Amino acid sequence: MMKKKVSFLLAGMLMCMTPAMNGATIDGGIKGTVMDGELGGPLEFVTVQVKAKGSDKILQGSVTGSDGNYSIGGLKKGEYVVTFSYIGYGEVSKTISIGTNSQVLNLGELTLEEDANQLNEVEIVAKRPQMRFEIDRKVFDATQDIASEGGSVSDLLSNIPSVEVDNEGSVSLRGNSSVTIWINGKASGLTSDNQADILEMMPAGDIKQVEVITNPSAKYSPEGTAGIINIILKDDRKPGYYGSVKAGADTDGGYQASGNINYSSSKVDAYANLNYRNREFKGGGITSRENTTDHSFLDQTNDSKRQHNNWFGRFGATWHMTKNDDLSLNVTGMTGGGDNSETIHYISTDSQRNTLYTSDRTTNGNSDMKMYNLELNYVHKFSDKSNIDLTVSNNQWKRDGMDIFQQSTKYTDPSLSADPIYQTQENDIKDKTWEVQADYSNKISDMSRIEAGYKGTFQRNASPVDTYTGTTAGNIQQDQTLYNRFLYNQDVHALYMTYGGKWENLSYQAGLRGEYWRVDTRSLDFDQEFNGKPSESFEKDYFKLFPSAFISYSLPKNNELQVNYTRRLRRPWGGQLNSFRNISDASNISFGNPELTPEYSHSFELNYIKSWESGHTLSLSGYYRSTDDVIQRIRFLNTEDNVMYTTSENVAKSQASGLEIVGKDKLFKILDLTTTVNLYYSKLDGFTYLPAGASTPVTGETDESFAWDVRMIANLSLPWGVSLQGTGNYNSKRLMAQGYRKPNYSVDLGLRKSFLNDKLTLSVNARDLLDSRKFRTITSGDGFWQDSENWRGGRRVGFTLTYNFGNMNKKKDKSKSRDRSDDSEMFEME
């Protein structure tokens, strides 16, 4: 119940309308809920068609949402036949009469029962779509992604249209890395420091769906100029008790096992899940750098190996206290660790490619990570039209790690020599976050809704790093010059209000969000930490307004036109603000910039959606984004030590525009195709900047580029319960600061077969089938030109076996579905 209400609040805020209401509001209509006679809960994707009595012509149609609700308008006074159909279920028809042009008839709950004969006949096509469109977002059904079965959430995200995951685990949306990632509608402790690690540890099998929201409204945090990716965890609420056990392995030596149990009744819903994963994968890279001043070269190759194991668990319970009150507790936790090793081989040559020296640097490290998220939620329903949702959550994340660096150098000139280097580096990162949120919703009339709320986020982060240096393990001493303790505190207070309504075929919504936030950072060296030396604190506070506006117009014959505007921002994260220098690669040193300020964007979108009864859907999204104070990574070469330095800076202004085309096609009743094409144009203004430690300013010329990518997902339903899935994507050349990224492509395959009446399922998948998921960049600046290629993972074949069990009741207590028929009005959409 809590999940349904949260979804109601999130979706109703953005567009404040039901997409099925294609008719004008001066006409009549129908609404209601379709229930599953076998499982007792709401039934999604039921086709609802309206015909005039005595006619075979379809006048209006709709499809039920995940809550089983539907709503259809555009019906004048008269008698009609309403037909409800769903693959594998018996068809039901009802004759209705609308007395006046403005009457909206509530048909209440209707139950569809399974048809055994029909199930046998249509077994090969009885499958939910992998991706569907909602009025403000695209929803990707994770349970249908065979290629990521047994993998991580990072693997799952890399298969979602418009989403990309690079070799370091960073996520981007429509080519923009400034994207906010949520779990169940909240940050849940994810930060830029730990995001890649947590997404790699989370099993894809625990994910129900992924929502991609490219232009969120004022109700949501404005963080992330590209938008929001919301990861929804599985939380089934079918009546009775049921669960599953799963085990799998892959050709890289990884393996995993999990189990879950669920219980649902009229008073209590509860679930528990435990997952263990061991994963091994290799990576590598090749870099060639030219010093354009003396035309010397530094070439390096690196090979890496990672072995990680972790436990991931979840527990949750919802108590239906009264008819109008629900209290929920949800706990998520993970713990694990692993070993990392990397070898880097350097060759330095002169302009004639004569070798000057060779060097080898090895890194061996281990780390342990712990994270938990505790969330308490209370929902009170004042009436059928208003409610309040209160949430308090606490997240704690900790990572302890130690790396050992060893480097030896050999010169071709016998008169030159260098002592070997032996270093150990210990770090202990702790992050604590509290979130308090209150959301109020009131449907003040049949055609309008108002929402308001508050959200407070309070984050505390500490990251001490201690380094010991010597020539061997026996003579290392603490290197006080490399000691660092970084403190990062951020408090954010936000208030928002939105108002939405509908007039005839036009729906509208306007909102305003005000945010005040305060950031306090402090980077301490050894003397500042232990000897009382004064330290400098960087304290900044901001207050900004973030408006949003949405307009949608329903056209005849299942056409929808939408236009929206939002203001968004990208705050610099902890590591970007820390001036401490990372020495894990002595020839490539990175450090942060405490003077960074947020970047702000104005984002516009124009969307068009057209659907056909034959199963085809076309979505066109044009967008434009103007951004000030763009945060970019910049590089400069120190010619004295031939070391490349990397830092971040607010470099300039940028503009980005694009067109996203999504086509969904159903062919021959057994083949579903989802094709996404993105066309990007970007322009980054020129800049000149003198970073700390640079002898000359770093400059960047005004650069414009056009890029595109295409991704196709093909799902083939074969006889005997076999499903085959293929995913292919291609990314063209793409602009980046001081250079560009070269094209890349990849292909994934998956196969799934069910046995024992779907109780047993075998999945086989091949990730990166062509071993082509590699990232190559060309960068240049004052004094250097560099070509780099990096990869992680490579081709991997996995096998997963799942067994489902349970005693699911066939009928559900009506109290669990109370008042559901009254919720399916214009402003509910999930």
Closest CA to 441 of 9, 55, 100, 4: 9
Question: Do 217 and 295 fall within a single domain?
Answer: no
Q: Are residues 215 and 273 in the same domain?
A: no
Residues 687 and 570 both lie in one domain? yes
Measured CA to CA, the distance from residue 534 to residue 789 in angstroms comes to: 43
Question: What pLDDT does residue 135 have?
Answer: 61
Strand pairing class (671-684; 268-291): unpaired
Q: What is the DSSP letter of 89?
A: B
Distance CA 239, CA 707 (A): 49
Q: Which amino acid type is present at position 140?
A: F
CATH number at residue 197: 2.170.130.10
- 756 - beta bridge partners? none
Tokens 């402790």 locate to 189
Q: Using an 8 Å Cβ cutoff, are 151 and 763 in contact?
A: no
CA proximity to 772, closest of 731, 739, 740, 726: 731
Q: Please give the pLDDT value at position 765.
A: 92
Contact yes or no for 84/108 (Cβ under 8 A)? no
- The phi, psi pair for 115, rounded to 5°, reads -110, 105
Pair 275, 202: CB distance under 8 Å: no
Whole-angstrom Cα distance, residue 446 to residue 16? 11
Q: Are residues 149 and 110 in the same domain?
A: no
- pTM for the structure as a whole: 0.77
Nearest of 4, 132, 136 to residue 511 by alpha carbon: 136
* 115 and 135 assigned to the same domain: no
Q: Is 245 part of a structural domain of the chain?
A: no
- Cα(132)–Cα(19) distance, rounded to whole angstroms? 13
Residues 164 and 111 in one domain: no
- Does some domain include residue 48? yes
Whether residues 108 and 146 fall in one domain: no
Q: Quick one: 678 and 740 in the same domain?
A: yes
Q: Which of 160, 135, 316, 295 is nearest to 235 (CA)?
A: 316
Clarify whether residues 77 and 194 are in a common domain. Answer: no
**Same-domain check for residues 93 and 150:** no
Residue 820 phi, psi (nearest 5)? -60, -35
Question: Does residue 465 contact residue 485 with C-beta atoms inside 8 Å?
Answer: yes
Cα atoms found within 13 Å of the Cα of residue 560, Cβ hemisphere only: 26
**CATH code, domain carrying 352:** 2.40.170.20
From 218, 233, 248, the end of a domain falls on 233
**Which tens digits make up the pLDDT trace of 776-815?**
999 888 788 999 999 888 899 999 999 988 764 444 433 3
- Residue 12 covered by a domain: no
Q: Are residues 624 and 755 in the same domain?
A: yes
Instruction: Tell me the C-alpha distance between 354 and 296, whole Å.
Output: 9
Q: Is residue 244 part of a domain?
A: no
Domain of 209, in residue numbers: 131-233
How far is CA 72 from its chain centroid? 32
- pLDDT in the model for residue 19: 35
Residue bearing tokens 């679930």: 271
**427 neighbors 421 (Cβ within 8 angstroms):** no
CATH, residue 63: 2.60.40.10
Among residues 97, 121, 145, the one where a domain terminates is 121
pLDDT for the residue numbered 236: 63
Identify whether 361 is part of a domain: yes
Q: Select from 585, 582, 584, 581 the least CA-distant residue to 300.
A: 585
Cross-strand bridge partners of residue 30: 72, 105
417 in any annotated domain: yes
The pLDDT score that the predictor gives to residue 352 is 93
Q: Is 325 helix (H, G, I), strand (E, B) or coil?
A: strand
744 & 659 share domain: yes
Average pLDDT per consecutive 10 residues, the chain (830 residues; last block may be shorter): 40 36 54 79 81 81 77 84 80 86 80 61 49 75 85 87 82 84 81 79 88 90 89 74 88 91 87 91 92 92 92 93 94 92 95 95 93 95 93 94 93 92 91 95 88 96 91 92 91 96 86 96 91 88 96 80 93 87 77 92 91 78 93 81 85 91 84 90 83 75 86 88 91 82 92 88 92 90 89 89 73 36 32
Q: Does the residue 34 lie in any domain?
A: yes
The CA-based dihedral angle spanning residues 34, 35, 41, 45, taken in that order and rounded to the nearest 10 degrees: -50
Identify whether the C-beta of residue 584 lies closer than 8 Å to the C-beta of residue 490.
no
Domain boundary among 101, 121, 141: 121
| 14 is a domain residue | no
Q: Which tens digits make up the pLDDT trace of 221-237?
A: 999 888 899 998 887 66
Query: Number of structural domains, the chain?
Result: 3
